[in-house]
Amino acid sequence: MRHSPTLNLDQYREPLIAILHAVVRDPNLSRQQLTRLLKQHPKDGRGLFRRDELIRAYREFAGTGDLPPFDAAVLERLRMKPVRTISGVTPVTVLTKPFPCPGECIFCPNDVRMPKSYLSNEPGAQRAEQNSFDPYLQTYSRLSALRNTGHPTDKIEIIILGGTWSFYPETYQIWFVKRIFDALHDFGGGIDHTDAVRTALREASQLHPERNLARVSVDGTRLDRSYNQVVQSIYQDEMRRSREQARAIARGERPRGLTDEYATWDELEAAHRQNEQAACRCVGLVIETRPDHISVDEVIRVRRLGATKVQIGFQSLSDDVLRLNRRGHDVAAARRAVRLLRQAGFKIHGHWMPNLYGSSVAADIADYRRLFDDPDFRPDELKIYPCSLIESAELMQRYRDGSWRPYSHDELVEVLLACFEHTPEYCRLTRVVRDIPGTDIVVGDLTTNFRQIVERELEARGGRSEDIRSREIRGQRVASEALRLDEQWYSTAIGDEVFLQYIAADRRIAGFLRLSLPHEAPILDELSGAAMVREVHVYGQSLALGEDSPGRAQHSGLGTQLIERAVEIAAAQGYARLAVISAVGTRAYYRKRGFEDGALYQVRPLAPPRT
């Protein structure tokens, strides 16, 4: 594996050791103190050592006589952007390639260099393009960057974004996920094939940044050609080549190359089995799609891929607003989608958009309340994406004719305050305002820290946000005796849900479990008679497998205690079995807790309750 090859560690051994000695000695070292320390020991007499260089030096020199043996706590003090892994896992986002989309949403950007709805200036999109949208390269390069900046890379949540996942060909989906697992295994094993893959892409793929000819812009005020028409025109050779290669490989007519977008279910399942005990494990797999593309068959296919969470765009719960924005589906489709996903045990990560064409501040506030007042929705996680005006979006026409305008800063704050106040404790507000570069927004509020603004305003009014993200204990030390188990019951489209959470006296959350108690027949026979654990999550800075950190929430046995309480509840409610929608990399964890492998789930038999 390659780590900051430009710096010769031995050449700078003396100043690096001096800095690291100071870091080792001071367990309470602040960021400001570290900056002052770096200035006292400059690189080449003038520059500062980068954080990734310090981290590489610490890994190299720890335990060599110059420094005490390696200590994960020292690495934490050097870690860049610790918030990335502070929630217990290390997220890695990968984007699918530009591809036609079934939607015609007027608010959606039409950047033909990107999969639908994404912009080439967004950080994640830039990383994807630099890696030719190849899943292996995106995954491997992101893991390398995370490790070089001090983050653990053994427990990975894979987040697949880009367009409508369910609209991509099945062979592409299987290949895409399989190559992600290949990258996890190679990275964990210290194998670096990326040079060979990059070379192959440079020679074969139009999507390589040096070969991509997609410089056609789409003007939202005219839209003489749609995104789909432009993408199909620009990438027609690439798409045809991929289809022909996949068919030839399936027929056994040609050997498979590094860049061929083809894999079989058997190959993917073999990669899953390998990942169960791998050094770099997938502990969560997320895809995003549209409500109108969720069916029983699609739910089963997504589960076979190894997914545990689905991001799904509600956007609005008003049929009129959905129609005016040409969303392409109604609210009933969203209801059906959530029901099917719940029946299969998926975590539901909704997207919701205030300030859409045809809505208003008052209508948005009422719409948000419906998300949680209506048992058919009640998402586990939510992204709030106020509508932004992008030049390539058809919404430009509504802006030009005066029928739509962006909310003012005060109006947005008013909407978001109401959202935060009405979000229950069982939901996590993952993001508030999409990370769109200001240069891409034609007009409107460019504030990016709305979460902090809203939380400060709530505090000034004597309130606080109750969502999970605002209450996470994260990397703080916690005494297990200071926590208590809290249980919240609420109804859903398919039955009852129990949100079990270990909380401190101030309701900060150290861990939780989502337990589904369905009242109707499941869509898979495998789940017959079973209650369902949909998620177990214990908070704290993500630590390496086997790594110990006394007092940290992740290492207090909270996960096991939550599971055992779920077992008690399910048995008392008359269920014969308890199933879990486990990620590939967590199967071993659940086996140790009495769960047995099934086809797509793991199941633990339940003893009947004592009378």
pLDDT digits (tens, 9 = 90+) for 256-293: 887 889 999 999 999 999 999 999 999 999 999 999 99
Give yes or no: residues 505 and 419 share one domain.
Answer: no
Number of domains in the chain: 4
The Cα–Cα gap between 18 and 42 comes to 11
Asked if 485 and 553 sit in the same domain, the reply is yes
Beta pairing partners, 159: 93, 286
Flag whether 301 is in a domain.
no
Q: Which domain holds residue 50?
A: 10-78
- Give me the residues paired with residue 351 across strands: 313, 383
C-alpha span between 93 and 585 (Å, rounded): 17
| Residue 412 predicted with pLDDT over 70 | yes
d(CA 603, CA 590): 9
Q: Are 305 and 297 in contact (CB under 8 A)?
A: no
Please indicate, yes or no, whether residues 182 and 44 belong to a single structural domain of this protein: no
Domain boundary among 259, 289, 319: 289
Q: Note the pLDDT tens digit of each residue in 435-447.
A: 888 888 999 888 8
For residues 466 and 501, state if they share a domain. Answer: no
| Residue 225 falls inside a structural domain | yes
Domain-located, residue 299 = no
The pLDDT tens digits of the residues spanning 553-604 come to 544 589 999 999 999 999 999 999 999 999 999 999 999 999 999 999 999 9
pTM of the predicted model as reported, rounded to 2 decimal places:
0.88
DSSP state string for 70-89: P-HHHHHHH-SSGGGGTTSS
- Do 535 and 516 reside in the same domain of the chain? yes
Q: Which of 417, 442, 471 is the last residue of a domain?
A: 471
Whole-number pLDDT of residue 555: 47
- Strand-strand pairing, 347-352 and 281-289: unpaired
Residue 2 pLDDT: 39
- Report how far residue 554's alpha carbon sits from residue 538's, in angstroms, rounded to the nearest whole number: 5
Same domain (yes/no): 273, 168: yes
Chain-centroid distance, C-alpha 361: 29
Averaged pLDDT of the chain: 89
Residues 334 and 453 in one domain: yes
Q: What pLDDT does residue 4 have?
A: 42
Instruction: For residue 490, give the CATH number of its domain.
Output: 3.40.630.30
| pLDDT of amino acid 68 | 86
Going across the sheet that includes 381-384, the strands are 90-95, 155-161, 281-289, 309-315, 347-352, 381-384, 428-432
Task: With a cut of 70, say whether residue 375 has pLDDT above it.
Answer: yes
Residues 539-564 have pLDDT tens digits of: 864 344 444 444 445 445 899 999 99
Pairing of strands 309-315, 281-289: parallel
Q: Is the CB of residue 508 less than 8 Å from the CB of residue 525? A: no
Please report, for residues 204, 393, 405, the alpha-carbon distance to residue 397 in angstroms, rounded to integers and kept in the order given. Answer: 39, 8, 11
Q: Give the pLDDT band of residue 88 (cuts 50, 70, 90).
A: low
> Do 155 and 268 lie in a common domain?
yes
The residue ranking higher by pLDDT, 195 or 175, is 175
Say whether both 422 and 332 belong to one domain. yes
Whichever domain contains 323, its CATH number is 3.30.750.200
480 shares a domain with 463: no
303, part of any domain = no
User: Do both 187 and 214 map to the same domain?
Assistant: yes
pLDDT the model gives residue 426: 98
Side chain identity at residue 96, one-letter code: T
Domain-embedded: residue 302? no
Pair 108, 59 in one domain: no
Task: Answer whether residue 241 is part of any domain.
Answer: yes
Q: Rounded distance, CA 349 to CA 270, Å?
A: 28
